[in-house]
Amino acid sequence: MERDQDLKKLFGDPRIPDVELTGKVMKVLHTEMKKERFFVRYKIALTAFVGMMLMATTGYAAVQYHSLTNTDGEVVYETKSTKEYEQTESKEDVKRFEAFYDLKEKLLKNGQAALFYVAANNPNHQTDLGMKATSFYNLSQLRDTVTDQLIKVADKVNGDYTYQQADVLFKTAYDVNPPSLQEKEEMNTKLRHQAENSKHGYAMMPVEMTDEVAHLSVTYQNGEDKIEVMIHNLTGKSDPTSYIDEKVEFRQEKVHVKGVEMLQTEFDPSRVIQLQWIYESPDKKQRYSYTVLANADKVSKETLTEIAESYLEY
């Protein structure tokens, strides 16, 4: 399950909405990017990258995309083809981002964040916000740190799969209290001048982390088998959409578990299966995406459904 392992490490990549993820998975993504058009910026939903990780080489065209609605019938999450994603990336954008990512990996420690300006391949003078996840190997420590009552972390799932670790991406002060347009321009100008006058060709400014969770990935293990539970904070996002390339071989269907709409997705040839649903607070002011992910050769669809039911009852 090496590719499944890479999925967990994905959560340090700066291209997820308001979060930045981490790990050698980016090397896999960079390899795929050389083969396919770099169609996503770092402000796009998580499953797009999960889809890229599970990309098949067969050229299989998947056409079944679905959406999830809340009790009021409002669409709260949907999947679409990347053909519907309007933004494109130039070769300069790709090169700049790769340089930024390498710097982020080299210079930031776990749990840190910074704003980067890379001088080369940056005609539009853009900055990139990078961060790394904080790992928790002790469940009690995680629960003491993550105090949001809407984020549910179980001791174990499916009876025999026990908590191993969690990787948490916290929101930055830059996310929680965005600077004004003038402040942003001033920061960009300052970093640009520093980068252009530096022999290293870049500049960075540390950004404070908050205790507000952007994304949390929990690993449960039974022997060599693992189940991942991913929780993504969608609060405030007006259009939570995941874009999956049509060359990704997958099957997706909408199911109902205890009256809650969920998306069940199977990826080939990786044999990864996932079940995803949206949790809204009673006042609908907070919204989280929950995804249970496992190897279909080890965990059945029925088991994923039982795990989802346990979270709904949690």
User: Is the confidence at residue 92, as pLDDT, over 80?
Assistant: yes
Q: Please spell the DSSP secondary structure of 242-253, one letter per residue.
A: EEE-TTSEEEEE
Give the Cα separation of 181 and 199 in Å (integer): 29
User: Is the confidence at residue 12, as pLDDT, over 60?
Assistant: no
Q: Average pLDDT, stretch 22-49?
A: 32
* Mean model confidence pLDDT for the chain: 81
* pLDDT the model gives residue 169: 95
Give the Cα separation of 105 and 130 in Å (integer): 9
Contact 252, 265 (CB under 8 A): yes
User: Is the confidence at residue 90, as pLDDT, over 90?
Assistant: no
Of 283, 272, 275, whose CA–CA distance to 312 is shortest?
275
* pLDDT the model gives residue 25: 31
* pLDDT the model gives residue 86: 65
Residue 247, CB half-sphere, CA atoms under 13 Å: how many?
Answer: 11
| Span of 43-52, 126-135, 251-260, 262-271 with lowest mean pLDDT | 43-52
User: Is the confidence at residue 157, as pLDDT, over 90?
Assistant: yes
* pLDDT the model gives residue 63: 56
* pLDDT the model gives residue 282: 87
Conformation bin of residue 279: beta by default, left when phi > 0, alpha when psi is -120 to 50: beta
Amino acid at site 281:
S
| Span of 163-172, 239-248, 288-297 with lowest mean pLDDT | 239-248
Contact 246, 82 (CB under 8 A): yes
pTM value is 0.78
3-state helix, strand, coil in the chain (%, to 5): 25, 35, 35
3-state secondary structure of 218: strand
70 pLDDT band (50/70/90 cuts)?
Answer: confident
User: Is the confidence at residue 48, as pLDDT, over 60?
Assistant: no
Write the CB contacts of 109 (distance below 8 Å, at least 6 apart in sequence).
132
Cα separation values, 15 from 97, 128, 203, Å: 10, 10, 20
